[in-house]
Structure 1
């Protein structure tokens, strides 16, 4: 038993005919478009029909007890995927279990293309939410490329699959009722049917383009465009970047950035502009297409319309089959190039980690020195370097036509040993913390003299120069220090 669910009007249409489903969808959407007076252009009408999430989700509601679950066949974005049987329809299906139904069912409900996974309906019974789609018996493209069967791939298969993925993505960007940006295109999200047709699936990270162009961090780093990694505003060409990685996977049958952690890949792609290694013997037309897909500037990447034109042109190249087949079947000759790049990137990452540790150690030591300086600056002014500081040590001088007076003090050290700059600095710290003295190495002689000067503004001017010894108490503020030991 299944029913047609429409969140627009809050009730369900019971019918077994898919024709009724589409009739209801068309009538309701037509009414919405009429109300909004957007009937001037068929494209505008389509956008109107699906622009708001509350007006676009028309899908079959499948009862939870109408589904018999088999094994877990993998994980998608935000949920696990199970092989199952839709009992009432006697149909093998894939069910993606979710914590809640969000945009994925809404997006799938408006899509229909040979290279997009077919959507059957959704389970809306809490807490057993799920999305029900067709089941692809061949597994994911990622698994296929890791199997022994992939070793027999030739140009024909690579070209066919490259075209199928590009057609599916072109539909999402340009031909669907509303533009959809996938944002998580990768070989794990492309499935292989029993008759070897590729279908794009897992729209958990996807968004209607009209809803927002500023995306949160989603996807898997080796396939992610730089702007997606940085959570910058995105366009459909972020999918172009990911497509280039999937094409690289089909040609090399290697894991992109194998052995590197996700955040390491993110840093290399964004900060170092690193890209996957294209072996030197890779056919030039494929190499050029991948490089165009990986351009840093999103606007400079090709749209899927142009990718399809490029692939069509390549299929007419009489020399390409021999070049491509030779490349595919002689992996031992060029795989070392990929390995060498991976080793270089790993070394770069190790060097970075080492430098990071050095910087952390340097920061730790600087903080320790700073703490010791503070501790020493707070110690009393009774240090070996201090010999005699008395009232008679101070002199006053006045200069003609000067609005200031200054006071000097000469300190003579009686120490016969080493006097460390740190101790002297701690002593001087007590005089108002006005000057940081860098003594360099230890002072190796006794009798060191340090001149202190205290300047004080005065509103009076004197007309004679005079100097005399005065008696005054020792103050602890407004002193400028200079080292005259040299």
Structure 2
């Protein structure tokens, strides 16, 4: 006997107990399957109970304890021994503790038997419980997701960035070189570009240069990390011709800054512009050679580090000059330690870039040497690189795009004046060779400049 297509509430199913009973009348034994619902005697009959009752009655079931549902019995034909008895509606019921023995006894008489299998009922209950647990788990998961989504909506962009965290914030070098932000005072803007703004200011009463990210970049994860990487690199460098790092300061991402010594005489480009305006003689004099020598010393130092450090943006704007004409390399924003991995990122300022960088090919420290050769041409002529490049048809100055295309193909090179010292002119031309392998190393450049200084 089976009961089908009746959806019972989970709370009702949980309270079902199944027991097999036998009723003996004379020589005849009848077997019952009793479904017992644990409810208080004064509890009203639920709609679900009625459903089950009606279902059993449709299958010749009898009911007992009608005041509150206690048992429904489905009758079957069988015979066998009895072990336990109970009374309901004047009838005698006997139950067995050994269901397997009952089955054997019933079969031995050859009498047909039709019962609701306890295994089937157990499987149904387990299935219902599993389905409910699964549904609850999904509901909880959806609830958690909704709560988190709502919280994210309430977060500001800055809070979201800060919540993700950065390894560099906890870097030992950054932590040990951090200085109090309230002691860093900004005064006037010295220069600005796409990757940073430099201010004149003070720290502990001493004049300093303060570099910050542009306002629109201060919430950019990649730029903030790059800025911290520059601070970490600067903190690891120690050379008289590299700008001295004072510290890094912040209270939040929006006021992060890198503090370094102030060189208030400007950069090499400003010096050369003044030379050009004042008709300073072209060629190389002692001051120009000493500036080139200082830059070569700094490059030799960077390239000798383990791992090697490439500046990658060497140009006249990134060479500061003191009143005593001491040159110092600055702006390491795109500098990087060289690794065995292929370096192909097109970084730096285009007019000073080596052809292999422009073409996106692999490059190494010889790209810095190419840029140094371009700076040598500036020291000689006072003008920007490729200022002489003009269209053969119109005579107008070539666009930067045309210049870079010709440089990458090796059809355009920087020029040196007639007043250039031959040794330095040859050195400069070697530095800007199309083939990186043909360029001298920074140490070789330094050696030749030292020879020139001795000759002056």
Question: What TM-score do you get using the length of structure 2 for normalisation?
Answer: 0.55
Conserved 8 A contact 1:76-1:202: no
Q: Does 1:273 align with 2:273?
A: no
Aligned partner of 1:139 in structure 2 is 266
Aligned mate of 1:96, from 195, 211, 216: 211
Secondary structure, aligned partner of 1:199: strand
Aligned partner of 2:237 in structure 1 is 111
Secondary structure, aligned partner of 1:184: coil
Q: Deviations over 1:94-136 (max 9, x none)?
A: 1111231422112111100000001111123211122111110
Aligned partner of 1:478 in structure 2 is none
Aligned mate of 2:318, from 156, 172, 189: 189
Hey, what's the Cα distance between the residues in 2 that align with 1:95 and 1:230? 34
Hey, what's the Cα distance between the residues in 2 that align with 1:245 and 1:9? 34
Structure 1: which 5+ residue stretches go unaligned?
1-6, 12-53, 322-486
Q: Deviations over 1:125-160 (max 9, x none)?
A: 211122111110111110111014782786211111
Aligned mate of 2:422, from 262, 279, 284: 284
Q: Does 1:304 align with 2:442?
A: yes
Runs of 4+ in 1 over 4 A off after TM superposition: 7-11, 54-59
Q: Deviations over 1:232-286 (max 9, x none)?
A: 2211010000001111111111111235443222111012531012234422111
Aligned length: 267
Hey, what's the Cα distance between the residues in 2 that align with 1:117 and 1:218? 21
Conserved 8 A contact 1:77-1:205: no
Q: Deviations over 1:403-424 (max 9, x none)?
A: xxxxxxxxxxxxxxxxxxxxxx
Conserved 8 A contact 2:377-2:415: no
Q: CA RMSD in A?
A: 2.4
Hey, what's the Cα distance between the residues in 2 that align with 1:9 and 1:275? 41
Q: Which moved more, 1:209-218 or 1:149-158?
A: 149-158
Conserved 8 A contact 1:182-1:239: yes
Conserved 8 A contact 1:221-1:265: no
Secondary structure, aligned partner of 2:256: strand
Hey, what's the Cα distance between the residues in 2 that align with 1:239 and 1:9? 27
Conserved 8 A contact 1:111-1:177: no
- Counterparts of residues 18-417 of structure 1 (less than 5 Å): 57=174, 59-75=176-192, 78-86=195-203, 89-98=204-213, 99=218, 100-102=224-226, 103-124=229-250, 125-148=252-275, 151=280, 155-174=285-304, 176=305, 178-210=307-339, 212-258=341-387, 259-317=397-455, 321=456
Secondary structure, aligned partner of 1:235: coil
Hey, what's the Cα distance between the residues in 1 that align with 2:449 and 2:210? 34
Hey, what's the Cα distance between the residues in 1 that align with 2:335 and 2:281? 33
Question: What TM-score do you get using the length of structure 1 for normalisation?
Answer: 0.51
Structure 2: which 5+ residue stretches go unaligned?
1-165, 219-223, 388-396
